[in-house]
Amino acid sequence: MSCSYADGLSPYENKGVLGLDEKYDTTENLQLKCGILTEWINTSRHVVVHTGAGISTSAGIPDFRGPSGVWTLEEKGLKPKNNISFDEAVPTKTHMALKKLTEIGK
């Protein structure tokens, strides 16, 4: 289960800023950023993508520092409500986009 995964993590004091609100771009700004990203990927010889746990939240797997993140809730003595098995999680659009980039050799 994804929630019990967090139980096995080593505890440490500084887990960064916890519980920040998510920020969303306007549609116009998102389209602009996607265009820039597409150009960068198309003109690059190598691409490295550094993501966080947040790319899996829409698949039902909790992140760590978000408002309902594992560590944010832990600070309050709570556990995430989502408790999906990694095997049952459905890949997100982000996962599929990264898979496609790999398939086309980026």
pLDDT tens per residue, range 68-104:
888 888 888 888 777 677 788 889 999 999 999 999 9
| Euclidean distance between CA atoms 29 and 31, whole angstroms | 5
pLDDT over 70, % of the chain: 89
pLDDT at 48 over 50: yes
pLDDT score, position 74: 83
The residue type of 63 is: D
Location of structure tokens 């691409």:
47
| Euclidean distance between CA atoms 47 and 60, whole angstroms | 27
90, HSE (Cβ side, Cα atoms, 13 Å): 2
User: Quick check: pTM over 0.75?
Assistant: no
Q: How many other β-carbons are positioned within 10 Å of the β-carbon of residue 6? A: 18
- Range in 6-10, 20-24, 78-82 the model is least confident about: 6-10
- Decide if 4 contacts 86 (C-beta within 8 A): no
pLDDT at 2 over 60: no
